[in-house]
Amino acid sequence: MDGSREIPPTPTRRAFLQSSAAGFAGLVLGFTWTGKGRLGVNAAQAAADGRFAPNAFVRIAGDNTVTVVIKHLEMGQGIDTGLATILAEELDADWAQIRSETAPADAAVYNNLNWGPVQGTGGSSSIANSYPQLRQAGAAARALLVSAAAETWGVEPATITVKQGVIAHAASGRSARFGELAAKAATLPIPAELPLKEPRSFTLIGTRLPRLDSAAKTDGTARFALDIMPPGTLVALIRRPDRFHATLKSVEAGAARAIAGVVDVVTVPAGVAVLAKGFWAAKQGRDALAVEWDEAAAEKRGSAELLTAYQALAATPGLPARREGDVAAALAGAAKRITASYQFPYLAHAPMEPLNCVVVLTPDGCDIWAGDQFQTMDQANAAATAGLKPEQVRIHTVYAGGSFGRRANAASDYIVEAVSIAKAVGANGTPIKLIWTREDDIKGGRYRPMYYHTLEGGLDGDGNPVAWRHRIIGQSIIAGTPFAKGFIKEGIDHTSVEGAANLPYAIPNLAVELHTTEVGVPVLWWRSVGGTHNAYATEAFLDELGEAGGQDPLALRRRLLAGHSRHQGVLDLAAAKSDWGSALSAGRGRGIAVHEDFHTFVAQVAEVTVAPSGKVRVDRIVCAVDCGRAINPDVIKAQIEGGIGYGLAALLYGRVTLAEGRVEQSNFHDYQVLRIDEMPKIEVHIVPSDAAPTGVGELGVPALGPAVANAVYAASGKRIRVLPFEETGNA
Amino acid sequence: MPVSFTLNGKPTSLDVDPEMPLLWALRENTGLTGTKFGCGAGLCGACTVHVDGEPTRACITPVGTIDGQQVTTIEGVDGPAAAAVRTAWRQLDVVQCGYCQSGQIMAATALLRQVPRPDDAGIDAAMSGNICRCATYVRIRAAIHRAARILEG
Ligand code: FES
Ligand code: FES
């Protein structure tokens, strides 16, 4: 049973407290957290609030189990394990007694401290924002247990030790396990001072601990939203238009209704929903619909037309995202100039579990089961759709079968669809299970935007880069969402230019410009967001510039990164571990790239073989990571391995294209992803660090592409500037 | 006419459309949800079960075609190879989101029953029908090697 994960059946905050009190006669820990030591972009604003509402992150039961309440979505990144590790460390718990439980949707208690009053998971922020919070939570629980032991035994708290789940008083030889003291501890006041451990005495953080979710995910018992099927559930599939922003003109549903098992056909804003007693009937019913669309407002352009428009824009100045020195003059005066353009297609996230959720809607409440990544937004959007208040929407977060950003979107698309269906059938309490098929997923939009980049660089007579102009053309992920105010400054969507506008290299004349385009294709953040394209364009172009100046890629980076010790640290580690500079046989090559995002630093060295046909095989990736203090080194390695595989899939094959506005791909045969036979050998090395821990969930992706591209050049003399590699016959 | 087959060792009879894919019959009519839906087109392996011991894509197998056969799912797979695979998977913490892993484990178990000591190429060949979007492939390979060693004793 170790590592079992309980899903609270009635996950309201109140019910949570009640059930823990009634069911466990244990200790529910609530405390006020001052925000001291908090990390993250919003630290200053949030600290100004001065106070956080009491939190409940840990429960200790009479049976000696410690349940850590996890406020972030477990979507594969190992966050159950990571957050539990932090709390267990300060509690001095034994890892075997640790359980995890998903938190209810309650932004007042379980908000992402980097995001303000919003509960959600993303931006590789889960460990970073939770680290101080859960240390405090663990320390508070420990202090109460120590107080309880001191009172029970009549000894001074200072003479009590806690180690691996055992509370002991050496002088009297007494000891107790947590469970024995939980009831008493629950009656005591929390000490005002909660000293935290010195990191050097950590016994769990920084060690390899078994993942909490391995058992359930290897015997079929792990529950995903797709597995939630209350009695009487109707499965719903939606027929959506095949051009974005088309609307329903007419539907002929007679044939659909005639299919055995089909119960209802309703129209909703997203399209036409077929409800049936199971997936198969719903699918047949949907196939039988005859639908006409009004395409007056539909996007009808194809990828080729978009590319032509983007290329034209690239010839004109964009809005400045960064401007240093005088780039025009420096380019004009350069001893040597080079220019290059890079193309990036739309990308679907294609998480393994297609979008789905279960909704039970009544006139006065809504229950939603989902692998929910953005609880506060989803609560608000579901409430608005249903005509309820957000607090009447209860979200039951379950494991997500991957997300990579897809499940967190400002429109809460799949949640809103399901709620709108439940409303259309009368808000009668029938469980509605909306399932997207893989075709729906690939064709359904919210892609990583298509981008076009043009870079121009100038070198002085000694081959040193003196000018850098970078133009980025593409849609804004943030425009039109509630985040626009925070993320778009003077016309610049931060997510469009991250990784480019903050180029760390010391180049005296530097301009980064942005053209934000408007296209009727819904777009979204995709694992590592701006890093998915900006890292490629900047790190591949730097190699081109270096080559024009006769410079070694590693030496050039080291020199231009003087003073950036963490960048240099990962570069040096990756170079050393990969034997950078040693000879490779003909047809093989090595490339390097470095990237910082979310305060984590990653360098990768790729080794590739390029066949005479041009086909690229990635043989080996050596990756160095500096993410501050490593909470779970093995989980970090797993995330980097996975990020590399995910990035490589996009690099080689990832491509959503449009023909007259219609998506041309539909499933894994034409939206190809990485399979095991193309997975390279991967070595991950973590830089030892005492810095505050930062995230790694997205960090395997950005440096992978340019490291491989630079390696391909070293192996074959070919620069690949159009993604995916398949586009040019290199995959 | 109901379809009758043996499911995880137990006689089972389902009165469903014989064209219905075995995947949905398992998930919705027997309540065994460990077998997953990933593509519905035989492309990803998330729905892999064993039919008479052979790894089979349940999403493209009409339930009517398995009449009289033995179906084993992640919930029922056992024996030395399955136990070794599970142990190795847990020792190496292969899983990430876990959604593909039922299918991976069913495929790996079938492989080890046929080839007790596969090499990397053999693993790649047998497992390349099973997509993992979390790209746990490095550990899948390592875990299959480890499971093979466990089986050797
Ligand atoms: S769901 Fe059956 S192969 Fe993908
Ligand atoms: S573990 Fe997530 S798809 Fe394989």
Ligand 1 proximity of B71 Cβ (cutoff 6 Å): no
pLDDT in tens, A184-199: 888 888 888 889 999 9
Q: Give the separation between CA A708 and CA A606, rounded to whole angstroms.
A: 5
Q: What is the DSSP string of A458-512?
A: EE-TTS-EEEEEEEEEEE-SSTTSTTHHHHEETTEEHHHHTTTTT--S--SEEEE
Mark yes or no for CB contact A351/B131 under 8 Å.
no
The span from the CA of A178 to the CA of A198, in Å, is 22
Alpha-carbon gap: B51 to the closest alpha carbon of chain A (Å): 17
- Which whole number is the average pLDDT over A346-358? 98
Q: From the CB of B44, is ligand 1 less than 6 Å away?
A: yes
Return the percentage of chain A with pLDDT > 70, whole number.
92
Residue A49 has pLDDT above 60, yes or no: no
Residue in chain A closest to B92 (alpha carbons) equals A210
Q: Residue range A84-105: average pLDDT?
A: 96
Look at residue B123 and tell me whether its pLDDT is greater than 60.
yes
A278 touches chain B (CB under 8 A): yes
The interface residues of chain A toward chain B in range 611-640, judged by CB-CB distance below 8 A, are 634-635, 638-639
Q: What is the pLDDT averaged over residues A47-76?
A: 72
* Omega before A724 within 30 of 0, i.e. cis: yes
What are the b/e assignments for A473-508, b being 16+ CB within 10 Å? bbbbbbbebebeeebbeeebbbbbbbbbbebbbebe
More confident residue, A384 or A12: A384
Q: Searching chain B, which residue's CA lies closest to the CA of residue A234?
A: B28
Residue A25 pLDDT greater than 60, yes or no: no
The structure tokens listed for A512 are 């980064």
Residue A62: predicted pLDDT: 87
Residues A195-222 have a mean pLDDT of 97
CA–CA gap between residue A584 and residue A390 (Å, rounded): 60
User: For residue B38, which residues of chain A lie inside 8 Å, CB to CB?
Assistant: 352-354, 438
From the CB of B138, is ligand 1 less than 6 Å away? no
- The more confidently predicted of residues A31 and A469 is A469
What is the distance in angstroms between the Cα of B102 and the nearest Cα belonging to chain A?
A: 6
Question: Which residues in chain B have Cβ-Cβ distances shorter than 8 Å to A76?
Answer: 95-98, 134
Task: Count CB neighbours of A159 within 10 A.
Answer: 15
Q: How confident is the model at residue A258 (pLDDT cuts 50, 70, 90)?
A: very high
Q: Which residue's C-alpha comes closest to atom 3 of ligand 1?
A: B42
Q: pLDDT tens digit string along A555-597?
A: 999 999 999 999 999 999 999 999 999 999 999 999 999 999 9
Instruction: Indicate the pLDDT class of residue A116, thresholds 50, 70 and 90.
Output: confident
The pLDDT score that the predictor gives to residue A5 is 40
Beta-carbon-side half-sphere exposure of residue A366 (alpha carbons within 13 Å): 35
Assess whether pLDDT exceeds 80 at residue A37: no
In ligand 1, the atom with minimum distance to the C-alpha of B44 is 4
What tens digit of pLDDT does each residue of A654-669 get?
999 999 999 999 999 9
Residue among B44, B49, B74, B106 whose CB has most ligand 1 atoms within 8 A, to mutate: B44
Superfamily of domain B80-152: [2Fe-2S]-binding domain (1.10.150.120)
Q: Checking phi first, is residue A245 left (phi over 0); if not, alpha (psi -120 to 50) or beta?
A: left
Q: Name residue A370's amino acid.
A: A
Taking a contact as any Cβ pair under 8 Å apart, which residues of chain A between 416 and 445 contact chain B?
435, 437-438
Topology match between the domains B3-72 and B80-152:
no
> What's the pLDDT score for residue B153?
86
Q: Of A20-24, A693-697, A705-709, which range is least confident?
A: A20-24
Q: What are the residues facing A370 on neighbouring strands?
A: A397
Gap from B7 CA to chain A (nearest CA, Å): 15
Q: Does the Cβ of B137 fall within 6 Å of ligand 2?
A: no
Contact B89 A214 (CB under 8 A): yes
Interface probe with A: pick from B97, B130, B132, most Cβ of A within 10 Å = B97
Nearest atom (ligand 2) to Cα of A401: 2
CATH, domain B3-72, list 3.10.20.30, 3.90.79.10, 3.30.56.10, 3.30.2010.10 = 3.10.20.30
Contact between A123 and A77 (Cβ < 8 Å): no
**pLDDT band at A19; cut points 50, 70, 90:** very low
Taking an 8 Å cut-off on Cβ atoms, the answer to whether B139 and A641 are in contact is yes
Residue A562 backbone class (left: φ over 0; alpha: ψ -120 to 50; beta: rest): beta
Q: Does A230 touch chain B (CB under 8 A)?
A: no
Task: Please report which residue ranges of A549-663 form alpha helices under DSSP H.
Answer: 553-560, 565-578, 633-652
A401 at interface of B, judged by CB pairs closer than 8 A: yes
Name chain A contacts of B29, Cβ cutoff 8 Å: 278
Q: Do B97 and A223 touch (CB under 8 A)?
A: no
Q: What is the pLDDT of residues A214-253, one digit of tens each?
A: 999 999 999 999 999 999 999 999 999 999 999 999 999 9
| A676/B39 Cβ within 8 A | no
Residue whose token pair is 């009289």? B68
Compute, in angstroms, the gap from residue A687 CA to the centroid of ligand 2: 27
- Model confidence at A44: pLDDT above 80: no
Which is the closest atom of ligand 1 to the Cα of B57?
2
Domain boundaries, chain B: 3-72, 80-152
Ligand 2 contact, B125 CB (< 6 A): no
Q: Which residue has the higher pLDDT, A723 or A62?
A: A723
Measured in whole angstroms, the distance separating CA A461 from the mean position of its chain's CA atoms is 44
Q: Measured between alpha carbons, how far is A304 from A283 in angstroms, rounded to an integer?
A: 33
A248 contacts A375 by C-beta, under 8 angstroms: no
Q: Mutate one of B15, B77, B133 to test the A interface: name it (highest A CB count within 10 A).
A: B133
- Whether the ipTM is more than 0.85: the answer is yes
Residue-level pLDDT at A188: 85
**What DSSP element (H or E) covers A324?**
strand A319-324
Angstrom distance (rounded) from CA A418 to CA A403:
18
What is residue A178's predicted lDDT score, i.e. its pLDDT? 93
Backbone angles phi, psi at A389, to 5 degrees: -90, 150
Of A467-471, A485-489, A508-512, B34-38, the one with minimum mean pLDDT is A485-489
Give the distance (Å) from ligand 1 centre to CA of residue B60: 7
Residue A188 tokens, joined: 């005591």
Q: What is the mean pLDDT of chain A?
A: 92
Please say if the pLDDT value at position A2 is more than 70.
no
Query: By the 8 A CB rule, do A623 and A604 touch?
Result: yes
Q: Which of A385, A394, A393, A395 is nearest to A423 (CA)?
A: A385
CA angle B93, B137, A650 (to 5 degrees): 125
* pLDDT beyond 70 at A46: no
pLDDT greater than 80 at residue A30: no
- Say whether pLDDT at A21 is over 70: no
Closest ligand 2 atom to Cα of B100: 4
Closest CA to A70 of A13, A144, A126, A135: A126
Please compute the mean of the pLDDT values over residues A680-709 and round it to a whole number: 97
Distance from CA of B68 to the nearest CA of A (A): 22
Q: What is the pLDDT of residue A193?
A: 83
Tell me the pLDDT band of B78, cut-offs 50, 70 and 90.
Answer: very high
Nearest neighbour of A218 by CB, restricted to B19, B20, B95: B95
Question: pLDDT for A482-537, tens place per residue?
Answer: 999 989 999 999 999 999 999 999 999 999 999 999 999 999 999 999 999 999 99
Three-state secondary-structure class, residue B127: helix
- Taking residues A646-651, report their average pLDDT: 98
CB contact under 8 A, A668 and B43: yes
pLDDT of A366 > 80? The answer is yes
B102 vs A contacts (CB less than 8 Å): 220
Chain A residues touching B123 at Cβ < 8 A: 676
Atom of ligand 2 nearest to the CA of B104: 4
Two tokens, residue B10: 């137990």
Say which DSSP state A692 is in.
P
Asked whether B134 lines ligand 2 (CB < 6 A), one says: yes
Q: Burial level of A612, CB count in 10 A (0-12/13-18/19+)?
A: exposed
The pLDDT assigned to A35 comes to 34
Q: How far is the CA of B103 from the centre of ligand 2 (A)?
A: 10
pLDDT for residue A43: 26
DSSP assignments along A223-245, one per residue:
-BGGG---TT-EEEEEE--SBTT
Answer whether A55's CB lies under 8 Å from A133's CB. Answer: yes
pTM (whole model) above 0.90: yes
Q: Is 60 exceeded by the pLDDT of residue A22? A: no
Structure confidence by residue, pLDDT tens digits, A64-84: 999 999 999 999 999 999 999
Q: What is the mean pLDDT of residues B102-126?
A: 98
Domains of chain A: 13-219 (3.30.365.10), 225-296+355-435 (3.30.365.10), 303-347+446-728 (3.30.365.10)
Q: Is residue B34 within 6 Å of ligand 1 at its C-beta?
A: no
